[in-house]
C-alpha cells in the first residue's frame, strides 16, 4: 500500500508480509532489465522473510504512440492504492517535440510526491577509481521550477530570466534524507562488516552561497540547522560543506573521500551525471525516486535502442535500483544481500555483459548474481 506503515528510514523490518511491487518496464531495454529486478526479488533467500507479489503496469512512448497516453491513470491509481514500491525501466523520448507527449517518469515523480533523486555511485574494490558515494538531489525546486521569461530591454535586445527558488520546507526534508541515508549506509556497513572506503559517515552540503548568498545561502543554512537541531541523532556524521565548482574538482581528483553529498536540483543533476562517469558503464548506475511513503527504483540509463532485442543489456543498474528501493522500504538486510552479490559478480572477470568488456547475456548475469545470494 501507499501506506503509513512503510517509512523510508525505518530500521530493518522483521515482520513477515507480502510486498506488492509495480513493474513499469516502459520502452526498449526497459523490457529486458525489469524482469531482472523481478527475478532478484523472487529469489531472495527465504530467511529474509520477504515475499513479493507483482503487478505489470504500462507507461512509455510506445504506449503513447499506440494509445495517445504516456502514463495511464490506471498505472498511477494502482501504484497509489495497491503497491508498496515500484521499478521503472526506461522511456524513449523523441528528439523532436511531439504534441501531447511528456515524460511519464517526470509526471510520476510529481503525482507520487517523490521529492528526492538518490543516486549511489560505487566502484568495485580493485577495479578503476575507488568511489562509494550517494548523491541526494533535491527534485522539486531550484531553477527547475521553470519560471522563466524573456523580454526586451530598453535598447530592444532580448533578456531572459529564470527564478531559482529554494524553500525551507524542501531543503529541510532533503537534508534529513541525506543525514538518514548516511546513517543507514553506516548501519549496512557495520552489519555486513564490509571493509569499504568509509569507516564513518559524512555528508557534504554542496552550494554556491559565496555568490548566491540568499538562495544557496538558505540551502546551506537549513542543511546546517537540521544537523545542529538533531545532534543527538546525527553526531556520528561528519558535517562538511563544499562550494559546487570546487566540489566538481574534488570529486574527480579524490572521489574516494565522499560518502553522502546533498545538493539543490541543478547542482545535483550535474554532479550525479559526472559521478556516473567515474564508474565505467551506464549499465551499472542505479537511482531511486523517493518520497515520504514510496520509492521507485530506476536505472539511470535510457531505452538503449542500439542494443535492444539482443539480450545483452546490463541488468546491474536495475538490480541495484531494486536494492535501493528495498532500502527505502526499510528492508536493509535484503538490500545488502543484493549489493554484495552484485559486487561479487563485478569483482570476477567471468560473467559480464559487453558494456563491461565481457560476452555474457543479460540472463547469465542475472543467474550469476542470484546464485551468490
Ligand atoms: P541510453 O542510456 O539509452 O544509452 C546510451 C549508451 O549506453 C548506448 O550505447 C547504450 O547501448 C548504452 N547502455 C545504456 N544502458 C545500458 C545497459 N543497461 N547495458 C549496456 N549498455 C547500456 O541513452 P541514449 O542512447 O542517449 O538514449 C536512448 C533513449 O533513451 C532516448 O529516447 C532517451 O530520451 C531515452 N532516455 C531515457 C531515460 C529515462 O528513461 N530515465 C534516461 C536517458 C535517456
Ligand atoms: Mg541529468
Residue with the nearest Cα to atom 1 of ligand 1?
302
With both helix axes pointing from N to C terminus, report the angle between 30-42 and 362-371 in degrees, rounded to the nearest 10: 20
How far is the centre of ligand 1, averaged over its atoms, from the C-alpha of 194 (Å)?
Answer: 32
User: Of 248, 279, 310, which marks where a domain is finished?
Assistant: 279
User: Three cell numbers at 331?
Assistant: 528492508
Q: Is 133 inside a domain boundary?
A: no
Q: Is 69 inside a domain boundary?
A: yes
How far is the centre of ligand 1, averaged over its atoms, from the C-alpha of 8 (Å)?
Answer: 28
Q: Is 322 inside a domain boundary?
A: yes
- Whether residue 191 sits in one domain with residue 120: no
**CA dihedral sign of residues 329, 51, 287, 358:** positive
Q: Is 137 inside a domain boundary?
A: no
- Whether residue 168 sits in one domain with residue 69: no
Residue with the nearest Cα to atom 25 of ligand 1?
304
- Whether residue 227 sits in one domain with residue 182: yes
Ligand 1 pocket test, pick from 26, 301, 346, 354 with the greatest ligand atom count within 8 Å of Cβ, gives: 301
Q: Is 39 inside a domain boundary?
A: yes
Range of the domain at 351: 1-128+281-373
Residue with the nearest Cα to atom 26 of ligand 1?
302
- Whether residue 254 sits in one domain with residue 355: no
Residue with the nearest Cα to atom 42 of ligand 1?
302
Q: Is 135 inside a domain boundary?
A: no
CA 282-136-290 angle, 5° bins = 90
Looking at all shown ligands, the one closest to residue 302's CA atom is 1
CATH for 84: 3.40.718.10
From the alpha carbon of 316, which atom of ligand 1 is closest? 18
pTM: 0.85
The region, left, alpha or beta by phi > 0 then psi within -120 to 50, assigned to residue 53 is beta
Per-residue pLDDT tens over the stretch 151-169: 999 999 999 999 999 999 9
Domain count, the chain: 2
pLDDT of residue 10: 40
- Whether residue 114 sits in one domain with residue 181: no
User: Of 228, 259, 279, which marks where a domain is finished?
Assistant: 279
- Whether residue 193 sits in one domain with residue 124: no
How far is the centre of ligand 2, averaged over its atoms, from the C-alpha of 267 (Å)?
Answer: 10
How far is the centre of ligand 2, averaged over its atoms, from the C-alpha of 217 (Å)?
Answer: 24
- Whether residue 76 sits in one domain with residue 105: yes
How buried is 65 (Cβ within 10 angstroms: 0-12 exposed, 13-18 middle, 19+ buried)?
middle
Q: Is 94 inside a domain boundary?
A: yes
- Whether residue 254 sits in one domain with residue 286: no
How far is the centre of ligand 2, averaged over its atoms, from the C-alpha of 289 (Å)?
Answer: 13
How far is the centre of ligand 1, averaged over its atoms, from the C-alpha of 203 (Å)?
Answer: 30
How far is the centre of ligand 2, averaged over its atoms, from the C-alpha of 43 (Å)?
Answer: 32
**Which of the residues in the chain have pLDDT under 50?**
1-13
- How far from 15 is each of 18, 19, 186, 192, 253, CA to CA, in Å? 10, 11, 23, 21, 44
User: Of 279, 306, 336, which marks where a domain is finished?
Assistant: 279
- Whether residue 173 sits in one domain with residue 76: no
Q: Is 176 inside a domain boundary?
A: yes
Looking at all shown ligands, the one closest to residue 304's CA atom is 1
Per-residue pLDDT tens over the stretch 252-265: 999 999 999 999 99
pLDDT of residue 9: 39
- Ligand 1 pocket, residues with Cβ under 6 angstroms: 29, 33, 90-93, 105, 282-283, 301-307, 313-314, 317, 353, 355
- Whether residue 43 sits in one domain with residue 69: yes
Amino acid at each position: 500500500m501507499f501506506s503509513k506503515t512503510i517509512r523510508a528510514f525505518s530500521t530493518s523490518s522483521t515482520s513477515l508480509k507480502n510486498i506488492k511491487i509495480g513493474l513499469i518496464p516502459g520502452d526498449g531495454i526497459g523490457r529486458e532489465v525489469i524482469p531482472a529486478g523481478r527475478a532478484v526479488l523472487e529469489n531472495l533467500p527465504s530467511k529474509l522473510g520477504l515475499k513479493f507479489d507483482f503487478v505489470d503496469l504500462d507507461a512509455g512512448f510506445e504506449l503513447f504512440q499506440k494509445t495517445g497516453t504516456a502514463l495511464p491513470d490506471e498505472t498511477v491509481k494502482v501504484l497509489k492504492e495497491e503497491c508498496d514500491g515500484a521499478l521503472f525501466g526506461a522511456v524513449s523520448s523523441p528528439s523532436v517535440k511531439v504534441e501531447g507527449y511528456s515524460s511519464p517518469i517526470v509526471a510520476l515523480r510529481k503525482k507520487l510526491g517523490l521529492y528526492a533523486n538518490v543516486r549511489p555511485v560505487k566502484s568495485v574494490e580493485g577495479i578503476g577509481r575507488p568511489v562509494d558515494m550517494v548523491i541526494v538531489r533535491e527534485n522539486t525546486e531550484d531553477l527547475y521550477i521553470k519560471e522563466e521569461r524573456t523580454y526586451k530591454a530598453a535598447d530592444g535586445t532580448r533578456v531572459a530570466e529564470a527564478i531559482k527558488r529554494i524553500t525551507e520546507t524542501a531543503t529541510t526534508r532533503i537534508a534529513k534524507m541525506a543525514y538518514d541515508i548516511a546513517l543507514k549506509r553506516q548501519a549496512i556497513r557495520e552489519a555486513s562488516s564490509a571493509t569499504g572506503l568509509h569507516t564513518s559517515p559524512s555528508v557534504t552540503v554542496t552550494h554556491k552561497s559565496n555568490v548566491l548568498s540568499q538562495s544557496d545561502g538558505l540551502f546551506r543554512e537549513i542543511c546546517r540547522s537540521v544537523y545542529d537541531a538533531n545532534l543527538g541523532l546525527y553526531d556520528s556524521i561528519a558535517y562538511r560543506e563544499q562550494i559546487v565548482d570546487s566540489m566538481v574538482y574534488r570529486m574527480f581528483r579524490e572521489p574516494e573521500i565522499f560518502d553522502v553529498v546533498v545538493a539543490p536540483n541543478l547542482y545535483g543533476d550535474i554532479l550525479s551525471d559526472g559521478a556516473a562517469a567515474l564508474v565505467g558503464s551506464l549499465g551499472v548506475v542505479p537511482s531511486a525516486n523517493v518520497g515520504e511513503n514510496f520509492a521507485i527504483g530506476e536505472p539511470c540509463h535510457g531505452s538503449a535502442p542500439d542494443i535492444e532485442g539482443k539480450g545483452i543489456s546490463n541488468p546491474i543498474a536495475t538490480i541495484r535500483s531494486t536494492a535501493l528501493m528495498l532500502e527505502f522500504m526499510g528492508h536493509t538486510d535484503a538490500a545488502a544481500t543484493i549489493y554484495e552479490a552484485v559486487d561479487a559478480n563485478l569483482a570476477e572477470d567471468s560473467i559480464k555483459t559487453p558494456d563491461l568488456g565481457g560476452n555474457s547475456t543479460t540472463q547469465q548475469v542475472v543467474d550469476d548474481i542470484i546464485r551468490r545470494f
